[in-house]
Structure 1
């Protein structure tokens, strides 16, 4: 399982613009104060936006679904900006190809982004073909990532007709929160120092395996093999 943002791609500028448009459309309040997005789903980020920007909801008001819809539309209007204002992370395509070449391996994503936006980010850089996105975990599901990892494992078993043991599951990400989510979801975390977190922060969160980036595919594959060693 792969995280997307700052692990496989960096489209932060486009994402921030879409957040701002969707938030103001739904709440009527400009998005002035941002929130930390690493390891969080779009649903979690929205509620932190509300708190940080002092937006008070009326009793019974539930704007999350409206925000998710608006976010998808705002991002879709910016799809042509992804390659101009974003990039694939160094080694991302080669890393996906290398891990995908391992025997009996299925690759997908567990991401905080809603599904439409996740697919757009990956397809913009030609990365979607390496992944089975039909079984992935996405921010539009309104669950924390630890739960999404568990759900994704179950979907993989249903789709492919055989079990994927916890010991055979790895989650590759740049965020300490994702490392913690992997441990909660009973997957082995592989950290990548491609976001704002340091190696020591990733290790402190529980990552035994930490890579500087994705360009060293030999080391990545070795980490994946070692993490799942003994799985029958």
Structure 2
């Protein structure tokens, strides 16, 4: 399983613009103060936006569904900006292709991004073909990442008529929160230094495998094999 933002792609500029448009459309207030998005779902981010921008909800008011719908629409209007204002993370296509070549392996994503936006991010850089996105976990589901990891494993087993054990499940990500979610969700985290977290922070969160980035597919494969008990890690 893969995280998307700062693991496979970086489209932060486009995402921030879509957040701002959707937030103001739903609340009537400008999005002045942002929130950390690493390892969090779009639902969680929205409620922190409300708190940080001191936007009070009326009694019985439930703006989350409207925000997520507006977020999808705002992002769709910016799809043509993804490549111009974003980038694929170094080595991501080669890493996905390498993992796809492993025997009895299924790849998908578990992300805090709502499904339409996640699919757009991957498709913009040609990464969607490596992944079974029909079984992925997305922020649209309103569950924390740890639960999304577990649900995704169950969906994979049902869709592919196979058993995917906890010990054979890895989650590749760049954030401390995701590493913690992987531990709770019974998946082995493989952490990358492509986000804001340091190696010491990622290891303290529970990551045994920490890679600089995805530019060495063989090192990634070694970590995956070792994490799933099918090989020894390479030196270095």
- Which TM-score band (shorter chain)? over 0.9
CA distance 1:64–1:105, change in 2 (3 Å): same
Q: Deviations over 1:149-180 (max 9, x none)?
A: 00000000110001100000000000000000
1:163 is aligned to 163
Q: Secondary structure at the match of 2:71?
A: helix
State the secondary structure of the residue aligned to 2:143. Answer: coil
Query: 2: CA distance between counterparts of 1:124 and 1:202?
Result: 29
Point out 4+ residue stretches in structure 1 off by more than 6 angstroms: none
1:44-98: CA deviations, max 9, x gaps? 0000000000011111100000000000000000000000000000000000000
Following the alignment from structure 2 to structure 1, what is the Cα–Cα distance between the partners of residues 71 and 182? Answer: 26
2:140 is the counterpart of 1:140: yes
How far apart in 2 are the matches of 1:215 and 1:80?
Answer: 27
Where does structure 1 lack aligned partners over 5 or more consecutive residues? none
Report the secondary structure of 2:223's partner residue.
helix
Please tell me whether residue 179 in structure 1 is matched to residue 179 in structure 2. yes
State the Cα distance separating 1:230 from its structure 2 match. Answer: 5.6
Unaligned runs of 5+ in 2: 232-236
Q: Match for residue 215 of structure 1? A: 215
**1:4 matches 2:27:** no
Residue in structure 2 matched with residue 35 of structure 1 by the alignment: 35
Aligned partners of 1:199 and 1:215: how far apart in 2?
A: 17
1:50 is matched with: 50
After TM superposition, the score normalised by the length of structure 1 is: 0.99
